[in-house]
Amino acid sequence: MEDLPLGFGMALAQRSEAMQRFCALTDEEQRMVIDHTHQIHSKQEMQAFVDHLANHSAQG
């Protein structure tokens, strides 16, 4: 997880559900999520993305 973008890592650290969901992904899935974070340009967008990741876990 050393290649996590800083903002994404900080947002994950604030949402344990999202962190657990992200850690449960395959390496390829994690890479796809990380690639998507490069398109996010604000703290609010990143928080919304991480919230979605956490909520997806609750539904899945």
**57 alpha-carbon distance from chain centroid:** 11
Residue 26 is predicted with a pLDDT of 95
d(CA 58, CA 54): 7
Whole-model pTM: value is 0.84
The residue segments making up the domain with residue 55 are 6-59
Mean pLDDT by 10 residues, the chain (60 residues): 87 95 95 96 96 76
The total domain count for the chain is: 1
Residues 6+ apart with CB under 8 A from 13: 19
Q: Is residue 39 part of a domain?
A: yes
Helix intervals (H) in 1-60: 6-14, 16-24, 27-37, 43-59
pLDDT in the model for residue 60: 47
Residue 1 lies in a domain: no
